[in-house]
A and B are shown apart, each in its own frame.
Chain A
């Protein structure tokens, strides 16, 4: 059963790792991805990022993505935590953890989870710049391509 949380407050990666391991000895590895707010470029520094989401649908979408990961790989636990609200460069924004008996499913499921999350979970980023301007971040074709890697027949089938 996946742990899904959508929250404005920071998350504690160490605590979440410990929760996945609590009371069990069958886990052989945990894949982890921590997304961080990047400060854009030196020439055009980012002051802050505001994340908007669709309460209700967001949790449903993340649960559905996690369920898909659990159906594709033998996972012993998985955690997806995504923040919303105002964040500044250097702030962790998203945490994905996938635990398994072996590293291959753990790492593949982690990649899958963040790739699908970026294209299938209803979040939107707005950048605020030092000059006071703000604009909505546009979706990237790279992200669609990364997510499409996992369309069937998906490449990590051997990692089950």
Chain B
């Protein structure tokens, strides 16, 4: 199982702050998970419609779409950060 967190505009588009998702068969990277969530429902399609505006973290470290994911990981998706 993966724990997926959503923040800011992605949280609003997904309509939830977090969810548990079974590791999709054959999904080995962050990019694979994005493809799965995009194809799953309209909310996912909307949230991930603009790849340039999506950032990811795996286990609380920034990660690229090529980063590997494993069962038990905490994956977060969010827009580019705007703190400070």
Contacts and interface: CB of A to CB of B under 8 A. Distances in A.
- Chain A interface size, as a band, is 20 to 34
B84 interface: yes
A51 interface: yes
Contacts of B57: 54, 57, 122
A114 B84 CA distance: 7
The CB with the most chain A CB atoms within 10 A, among B8, B57, B80, B83, is that of B83
A94 B62 contact: no
Given A60-B60, A122-B78, A54 B83 contact: no
B79 A122 contact: no
Chain A binding site: helix, strand, loop or mixed by DSSP?
mixed
B64 interface: no
A125 interface: yes
Contacts of B76: 54, 57, 122
Interface string B59-84: 01110000000000000101111111
Interface of B: 5, 7-9, 57, 60-62, 76, 78-84
Interface of A: 35, 51-54, 56-57, 60, 82, 93-94, 114, 117-126, 136-140, 143
Shortest 10 CB-CB contacts between residues of A and residues of B: A123-B83, A139-B80, A124-B8, A118-B84, A57-B60, A137-B82, A136-B9, A125-B82, A121-B83, A117-B84
